[in-house]
């Protein structure tokens, strides 16, 4: 066999598969599993930085300026957030905890946008204390609570109103958010009414829309961006700022195509500028909120095989030492993945296997029908495209501690999240 490295989709940009297995930026995945244990999240810094910069640069050149606010719900390990901040993005936070993560990673309020469909008074106070640039209102009740808190604090808060425009997107229904009946935002008519009549303490700057997540065909995202300025004009409401959310999808399996986040951001900016020219409107400041498209492709999860068995229907299960505790997406959305053996990704497959997680739920499966070369106990399985909505959704069901995470940067790996120890699991019991 040749030593020539082959590109490996959908692994991070620096991944190569050779005779000695898969490496990221020259660091062997099998070696990382041996050193740090499994399950293990591995993130490639170059992939994160490249994508974050591309989006930040594309939105900054909008005619009236703009910025990208990274959605911390997709990834909030401080070691990864610091890369995103260094690339020039702000922070999109949906809880007091995410605001604190942003602060610890070095973000200030300048590019901070606050979200949530059920913000508590504590969340709103945290937003005010962080000097968040924008709070995105999800309804009138929240506007009144925020207005009262701002008046009591003797300050004004700039706000957008989130509307659900009734645009459907081609994604799993559990991650669609902009349709009629969504729990997020208000109807366009209510949004316009709220912006016209905001409580004291709030300064209305414009509108926000976020249609959903893992959207591989970006056309509806661009259509929503085109529709909003015309809507604001028709309603006579301010649109100094237009926040078009996130939602761009990524490749989870090699056969999928992956839209380019920088090109998509440019398309959004151009569409908004064009419609404003047509409508005779000033171009608003543009905000985008990418999450998955910045970090998803940058992550790989490593597992150790703990058992292989053939069952009654003739299928063979490969059981690994992780599962729904570190990857909720299969159970939540029926997500599909393309796992490979970390040390022999190019070896001839001996069959199709089902990869089982370790949790006491039959839905705890990582992937089905996976072609592998004679998987054995002790092998390391690498699951690509796990950089978004994996570590942030991890939990401790069955009292398994949550995995560690390492960041591969400039040819070396360092621990950025330590493994949750058994003692940690009881730290809150009183």
Ligand X SMILES: Cc1ncc(COP(=O)(O)O)c(C=O)c1O
Cβ(419)–Cβ(410) below 8 Å: no
Residue list 269-308, contact with ligand X (CB under 6 A) = 289-293
| 74 forms part of the interface with ligand X (CB under 6 A) | yes
Neighbours of 138 (CB within 10 A): 20
Window contacting ligand X (CB under 6 A); options: 124-132, 242-250, 273-281, 393-401: 242-250
Select 146 or 341, whichever has its Cβ closest to ligand X. Answer: 146
Peptide bond into 85 cis (omega under 30): no
Select 87 or 305, whichever has its Cβ closest to ligand X. Answer: 87
Window contacting ligand X (CB under 6 A); options: 49-57, 80-88, 199-207, 239-247: 239-247
CA-nearest of 52, 97, 56, 55 to 78 is 97
| Cβ at position 332, least distance to ligand X in Å | 13
Q: Is 360 designated active site?
A: yes
| 191 forms part of the interface with ligand X (CB under 6 A) | no
| Cβ at position 138, least distance to ligand X in Å | 10
Select 247 or 375, whichever has its Cβ closest to ligand X. Answer: 247
Specify the residue for token string 């997406």. Answer: 329
Select 75 or 417, whichever has its Cβ closest to ligand X. Answer: 75
Residue list 111-140, contact with ligand X (CB under 6 A) = 115
Q: Name the region of 305 (left: φ>0; alpha: ψ -120 to 50; beta: rest).
A: beta
Rounded to an integer, what is the distance from CA 300 to the centroid of its chain? 14
Peptide bond into 10 cis (omega under 30): yes
| Cβ at position 115, least distance to ligand X in Å | 5
Please tell me the count of residues contacting ligand X according to CB under 6 A.
16
Residue list 368-407, contact with ligand X (CB under 6 A) = none
CA-nearest of 380, 377, 355, 376 to 365 is 355
Distance CA(327)–CA(365), nearest Å, equals 10
Secondary structure class of 15 (helix, strand, coil): strand
| Cβ at position 395, least distance to ligand X in Å | 18
| Cβ at position 261, least distance to ligand X in Å | 9
Give per-residue burial for 335-351: e unless 16+ CB within 10 Å, then b. bbbbbbbbbbbeeeeee
Interface with ligand X (CB under 6 A), residue from 210, 226, 264, 359: 210
Select 246 or 322, whichever has its Cβ closest to ligand X. Answer: 246
Apex CA 66: angle with CA 63 and CA 70, to 5°? Answer: 155
Interface with ligand X (CB under 6 A), residue from 17, 39, 84, 92: 92
Among residues 93, 150, 151, 360, the one annotated as catalytic is 360
Select 115 or 304, whichever has its Cβ closest to ligand X. Answer: 115
| 220 forms part of the interface with ligand X (CB under 6 A) | no
Window contacting ligand X (CB under 6 A); options: 69-77, 305-313, 352-360, 371-379: 69-77
Query: Residue 219 to residues 165, 170, 223, 320: CA-CA distances in angstroms?
Result: 15, 10, 6, 39
Distance CA(88)–CA(56), nearest Å, equals 6
String marking each residue 328-367 x if it binds ligand X according to CB under 6 A: ----------------------------------------
| Cβ at position 177, least distance to ligand X in Å | 6
DSSP per residue, 82-128: HHHHHTT-EEEE-SHHHHHHHHHTT--GGG-EE--SS--HHHHHHHH
Cβ(370)–Cβ(316) below 8 Å: no
Select 245 or 403, whichever has its Cβ closest to ligand X. Answer: 245
Interface with ligand X (CB under 6 A), residue from 246, 325, 339, 375: 246
| 247 forms part of the interface with ligand X (CB under 6 A) | yes
| 245 forms part of the interface with ligand X (CB under 6 A) | yes
Interface with ligand X (CB under 6 A), residue from 213, 327, 386, 392: 213
Secondary structure class of 424 (helix, strand, coil): helix
Instruction: Give the DSSP H or E segment for 269.
Output: helix 261-279
**371: which strand partners?**
352
| Cβ at position 302, least distance to ligand X in Å | 23
| Cβ at position 313, least distance to ligand X in Å | 36
Residues that bind ligand X (CB under 6 A): 71, 73-74, 92, 115, 210, 213, 245-248, 289-293
- Residues noted as catalytic: 360
């Amino acid at each position: 066999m040749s030593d020539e490295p082959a590109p490996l989709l959908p692994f991070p940009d620096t991944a190569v598969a050779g005779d000695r297995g898969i490496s990221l930026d020259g660091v062997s995945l099998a070696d990382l599993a041996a050193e740090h244990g499994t399950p293990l999240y591995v993130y490639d810094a170059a992939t994160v930085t490249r994508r974050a910069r591309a989006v930040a640069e594309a939105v900054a050149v909008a005619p009236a300026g703009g910025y990208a606010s990274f959605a911390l719900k997709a990834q909030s390990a401080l070691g990864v957030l610091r890369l995103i901040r260094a690339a020039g993005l702000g922070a999109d936070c949906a809880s007091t905890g995410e605001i604190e993560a942003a602060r610890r990673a070095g973000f200030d309020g300048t590019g901070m946008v606050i979200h949530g469909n059920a913000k508590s008074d504590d969340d709103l106070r945290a937003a005010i204390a962080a000097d968040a640039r924008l709070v995105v209102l999800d309804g009138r009740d929240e506007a009144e609570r925020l207005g009262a808190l701002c008046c009591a604090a003797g300050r004004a808060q700039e706000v957008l109103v989130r509307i659900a425009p009734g645009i459907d997107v081609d994604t799993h229904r559990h991650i669609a958010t902009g349709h009629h009946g969504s729990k997020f935002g208000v109807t366009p008519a209510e949004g316009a009414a709220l912006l016209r009549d905001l409580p004291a303490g709030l300064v209305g700057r414009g509108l926000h829309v976020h249609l959903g997540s893992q959207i591989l065909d970006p056309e509806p995202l661009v259509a929503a961006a085109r529709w909003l300025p015309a809507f604001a004009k028709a309603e006579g409401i301010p649109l100094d700022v237009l926040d078009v959310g996130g939602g761009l999808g990524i490749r989870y399996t090699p056969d999928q195509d992956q839209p380019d986040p920088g090109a998509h951001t440019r398309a959004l900016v151009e569409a908004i500028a064009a419609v404003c020219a047509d409508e005779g409107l000033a171009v608003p400041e543009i905000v985008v909120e990418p999450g998955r498209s910045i970090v998803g492709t940058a992550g790989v999860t490593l597992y150790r095989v703990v058992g292989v068995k053939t069952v009654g229907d003739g299928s063979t299960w490969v059981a690994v030492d992780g599962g729904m505790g570190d990857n909720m997406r299969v159970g939540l959305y029926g997500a599909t993945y393309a796992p490979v053996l970390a040390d022999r990704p190019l070896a001839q497959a001996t069959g199709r296997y089902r990869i089982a997680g370790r949790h006491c739920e039959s839905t705890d499966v990582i992937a089905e029908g996976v072609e592998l070369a004679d998987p054995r106990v002790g092998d390391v399985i690498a699951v690509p495209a796990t950089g978004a909505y994996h570590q942030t959704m991890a939990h401790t069901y069955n009292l398994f501690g949550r995995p560690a995470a390492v960041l591969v940067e400039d040819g070396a790996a360092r621990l950025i999240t330590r493994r949750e120890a058994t003692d940690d699991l009881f730290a809150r019991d009183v």
